[in-house]
Structure 1
């Protein structure tokens, strides 16, 4: 007789919402600017709220309002990490799991594809590198195939090179820059950990979304003719003391 319930070990791929201010009004304005007012953009993806870069911790947090704000853009908040101790109980009461660093690390690595090469060990004469240094020195990840719909590739701590295309519904993420040598049709997020110098280069531009260091641009109204189907280059530029996403055509000959 089969049991009415079973438990199996598994991993969950979740979006990380790196929040630097627990001010829901400012967060709402920022999300509107980043996503162009697009409702349900993330299509129900689970999200982990990361407060590791929180500038100032308020005495209280409106977890319910924050959850509603994220759900408005299609994210389903499931937990919070790096939460200040005095805010942990209220987060639990709001239905959020308070996650430890180990759980968060396992979650992020669950979507990491194998790299094309292994990092070389440091010379014996040098002291062992700290974990964050090792991440920054990771070799470039090379994917020598196309990324199909529903697949996700994450180049943690390095650049990502794709020798094929990225289909609609696929997602490619890199902490560094992204180079795509086939048609780019899905989502491409470079500088995922906040590297504003990261860039996105492709030979055939037609994505659903592009992002550099958290600055997003979507294309519900179509790709601009100047870059549609052409080689293109996306980067951040300074405008009015704020980062703006610039997308330009590339001349290859």
Structure 2
């Protein structure tokens, strides 16, 4: 390659690459947009740091009948109103979804597939992480030796996070792998931040505000007495976030 060709390659205005990104998958189970709006707003208000301006994929496969364009636009408007950013619709195996996506000027995301029509009781919408490639921590765990104080965030990308001291109320620790806290957890802990469903959260003293694994989260207003101040681990069992004392 001559110098002119090298210079031309370096001076290009943009690059196009394909890669994994974190997405919120929003599966609607009702056509009542007001109920959907209220339920989503309540869930997002419980953990705003997880969902602020998050990219979202609209999945309509759980509805009894496929919505028309007007209904789909109402879903999109509702998603925007609660602070999410719709970037596509989930593929449901039909050509109709492609037509609808073109009318909405959104792409069809084929990594999402219909997962059955049976609704969950008392739920009109669910928020789950998008399926992404398994995240294997490629580096040694990130070691945090200083207290993580209110308003601070520590993020371990592509690896585990080990906190050797306290995570204070209002603080946030995140990892693409597991989160290990050898001290009190009084703030928020999020493992599997890019969708790794086998990630876990471990802590020495459990008094968490929020725990999340692969986007499935629980907010604690009152800590269950059997967990309060105890060594605890959290993990995903299907779609359920489970907690148990360690060694007890």
TM class, shorter-length = 0.5 to 0.7
Write the mapping of 1:39-118 to structure 2, written as runs, cut at 5 A. 40-43=45-48, 46-51=52-57, 60=69, 61=72, 62-68=75-81, 71=82, 76-77=83-84, 79-81=85-87, 90=104
Residue pair 1:142, 1:160 contacting (<8 A) in 2 also: yes
Instruction: Find the counterpart in structure 1 of residue 124 from structure 2.
Output: none
Contact 1:205/1:229 (<8 A) preserved: yes
Partner of 2:142: 141
- Give the unaligned 5+ runs of structure 1: 1-15, 93-97, 99-131
**Contact 1:48–1:81 under 8 Å retained in 2:** no
Contact 2:203/2:232 (CA < 8 Å) preserved in 1?
A: yes
Task: Give 1:23-42 correspondences, 5 Å limit.
Answer: 23=28, 25=30, 38=43, 40-42=45-47
TM-score normalised by length of structure 1: 0.57
In the TM superposition, residue 152 of structure 1 has moved relative to its aligned partner by 1.2
1:39-74 CA-partner distances (Å, limit 9, x unpaired): 7223587313144x9798x98543212123xx2xxx
Deviation by residue 1:115-142 (Cα, 9 ceiling, x = unmatched): xxxxxxxxxxxxxxxxx89974133111
Which structure: larger Rg? 2
Q: 1:230 to 1:157 in 2, by over 3 A?
A: same
Change (3 A) 1:24 1:63: farther
Task: Tell me how far apart the structure 2 counterparts of residues 230 and 180 of structure 1 sit (CA, whole Å).
Answer: 12
1:243 match: 239
Change (3 A) 1:235 1:50: same
Task: Assess, with a 3 A threshold, how the Cα gap between structure 1 residues 140 and 59 changes in structure 2: closer, same or farther.
Answer: farther
Q: Distance in 2 between matches of 1:234 and 1:38?
A: 20
* 1:218 aligned partner: 219
- Counterpart CA distance in 1 for 2:159 and 2:186 is 22
User: Which structure's relative contact order is higher, taking Cα pairs within 8 Å and 6+ residues apart?
Assistant: 2
Structure 2: runs of 5+ lacking an equivalent: 1-21, 62-66, 91-97, 108-132
Contact 2:76–2:86 (CA<8 Å) still a contact in 1? Answer: no
The answer (yes or no) to whether the contact 1:143–1:163 under 8 Å persists in 2 is yes
Shift of residue 90 of structure 1?
5.0
What TM-score results when the alignment is normalised by the length of structure 2? 0.58
RMSD: 3.9
Equivalent in the alignment of 1:158: 159
Task: Indicate how the Cα distance of structure 1 residues 91 and 184 shifts in structure 2: closer, same or farther if over 3 A, else same.
Answer: farther
Contact (CA 8 Å) 1:24, 1:65: kept in 2 or not?
Answer: no
